[in-house]
Amino acid sequence: MISSKIEEALNRQIDLEGFSSMYYLAMGSWAEVNGYKGVAQFLYHHSDEERMHMLKLFRYINDRGGRAIVPPFAAPQKDFKNIREIFDIVHSHEVKVSNEINALVELCIQEKDYTTHNFLQWYVTEQIEEESLARDVIDKLNLIGEDKGGMYLFDRDLATLTGQQGGGKGHGGHGH
């Protein structure tokens, strides 16, 4: 059984993961209508992953005698300057998510909830990957700069990266 304090904190994380899913969906839609099909594919996939992060929290809260709630999600930004802005936002957003996960871990220690602490370790590991992936993409963009041909290849590259993400990260679809 989880305490109401932990239940509330995990429900706030549901809000953040669900919002992340909508956010990346909005970015994907912008990329798609602006001719970046590969970037769109990458962001749609990322959006699906965030929904999976949210769902994992739903199941955990309910399994542990709490109740997962669907929050009223804030509307995400829908217009972006360029691809660079999108990935800068992805990176800073993931840093924010990592900070929230760390705060949750800290709360579990304070509350002596070692079961939830254990459950959250998956998210701690996941955040290392998420931040490093966003940084890798920004590194690529830095190399390309304003080069149009480079952007064309970058878009194709991201479509490839999407294919590798599913298997390589070991949580491609279900079971979480």
> Minimal distance in Å, beta carbon 87 to ligand FEO?
13
CA max distance for the chain:
56
φ and ψ at 74, to 5 degrees?
A: -70, 145
Binders of ligand FEO among residues 133 to 172 (CB under 6 A) are none
Burial of 70 (0-12, 13-18, 19+ CB in 10 A): exposed
> Minimal distance in Å, beta carbon 38 to ligand FEO?
20
For ligand FEO, the closer of residues 53 and 117 by Cβ is: 53
φ and ψ at 120, to 5 degrees?
A: -75, -15
Which position has the token pair 């709490």? Answer: 66
CB 120 within 8 A of CB 101: yes
Annotate each residue in 59-98 with x if it binds ligand FEO (CB under 6 A) or - if it does not, as one string.
Answer: -----------------------------------x--x-
Binders of ligand FEO among residues 11 to 40 (CB under 6 A) are 17, 20
For ligand FEO, the closer of residues 14 and 151 by Cβ is: 14
φ and ψ at 148, to 5 degrees?
A: -65, -40
> Minimal distance in Å, beta carbon 21 to ligand FEO?
8
Q: Residues in contact with ligand FEO, total (CB under 6 A)? A: 7
